[in-house]
Copies of this chain bind each other. A is one copy, B any other.
Amino acid sequence: MDKAIGIFDSGIGGLTVAREILRQLPQENIIYFGDTARVPYGTKSAKLVGKYAVQDAHFLTECGVKLLVVACNTVSAIGLRELSHQSSVPVIGVVESGCRTAVKATKEKKIGVIGTEATISSGIYPKTIKELDPDVQIMCKACPLFVPLVEEGRLDGEIPHLAVRAYLSSFKDEVDTLILGCTHYPMLRTVIEKEMGNRTTLIDSSKEIVIEVKELLRKKGLLTSTGQAANSHRYFVSDDPEKFKKMARLFLGEENIPVEEINIEEY
C-alpha cells in the first residue's frame, strides 16, 4: 500500500492544511496528529516547542508516513531546521511557502505578517522574506486573541471585529499583502478582509503549502499512483477525541471522523 502523508499541529488549526490536501490530492491518504493535550504552542518558549515538535514528528514517522507536513506556524517558525536534520523522511513547513507567495503577490513591496507570539518573536518571517527579496518592507504583529476566538467558534460579530481592529489598524494603509501566519487565522478571513479592505491580498499558507507538497512528492516519485480516492485517513490526538471531533466539523465540514487518542509524552 502507498504510504500516507503525515501532518501535525499543536491542535486543530492544522486541519485547514489537511482540508486542502484532501481537496487537492484526493488520492493521498493522510495521518493527522493534533497535540490537544499541550495546545497551544504559540504562547510557549522556543525550547519547549522544539521538544514537543520532535515528539510529534517521532510519532508520525513511527506510523510510517512518507512526508512530514508541519501544519503549525509556530513549529515551522521555530523548530523546522532541527526537525529536518533529525527526520528520515522529508519535512515541509508553512513559513517558506507563505513567504514565497507573499513576495510574488506584493506590488508595493510592503508585506504584513500576523501570527502567535512565539512565531512573531522568532523573527523567521522577516528573515525568510528578506532572503527572497531584501527590498521588501515588513510589519509584524502577534494576535494572541485570534486562536481562542476561533476555538470558541466566535468567527463573526463585534468582539472579533474589535480584536481585528485592535491588532491590524496600524497595518491598514501600510501593507498591500498580509500573511496569515497561523493556521487558525483563515477562519477569521471574512472579518480580517473587512478591516483591511479589498486592496490587501491575504496569503493563506495552508493553501500555498499544498502546492509545495504536490511538487515535492512528484519530484521524489512519492505521489500515490492509484487513480482512486483515498479512504484510509487517520486522525490522532493527545487528549479526549470528542472535542476534536466537534471542531473537525467546523474545520473540515465532516461528521464523525475516526479519532484515536495517544500518549504523546511516550514518544
Q: Which residues on the B side are within 8 Å of A39 (C-beta)? A: 43
**Cβ distance A83 to chain B, nearest Cβ, rounded Å:** 19
Contact between chains at A44 and B37 (CB < 8 Å): yes
A162/B158 contact (C-beta < 8 A), A37-B48, A48-B239, A243-B45 known: yes
Q: Which residues on the B side are within 8 Å of A154 (C-beta)? A: 145
Across the two chains, which residue of chain B brings its CB closest to A243? B45
Contact between chains at A151 and B144 (CB < 8 Å): yes
* Residue from B47, B148, B242 in contact with A144 in the complex, judged by beta carbons closer than 8 Å: B148
Q: For chain A residues 147-164, which have a beta carbon within 8 Å of chain B?
A: 147-149, 151-152, 154, 158-159, 162-163
Measuring CB to CB, which residues of chain A are less than 8 angstroms from any residue of chain B?
Answer: 36-39, 43-45, 47-48, 144-145, 147-149, 151-152, 154, 158-159, 162-163, 166, 239-240, 242-243, 265
Query: A38, A39, A44: which has the most chain B beta carbons within 10 Å?
Result: A44
A240/B159 contact (C-beta < 8 A), A38-B37, A145-B145 known: no
Contact between chains at A43 and B162 (CB < 8 Å): no
Across the two chains, which residue of chain B brings its CB closest to A266? B265
Query: A145, A151, A265: which has the most chain B beta carbons within 10 Å?
Result: A145
Cα distance, A56 to B149, chains bound together (Å): 29
Across the two chains, which residue of chain B brings its CB closest to A45? B240
Cα distance, A159 to B48, chains bound together (Å): 30
Cα distance, A43 to B48, chains bound together (Å): 20
* Residue from B44, B151, B152, B159 in contact with A159 in the complex, judged by beta carbons closer than 8 Å: B159
Cα distance, A15 to B148, chains bound together (Å): 22
Cα distance, A107 to B158, chains bound together (Å): 35
Contact between chains at A43 and B145 (CB < 8 Å): no
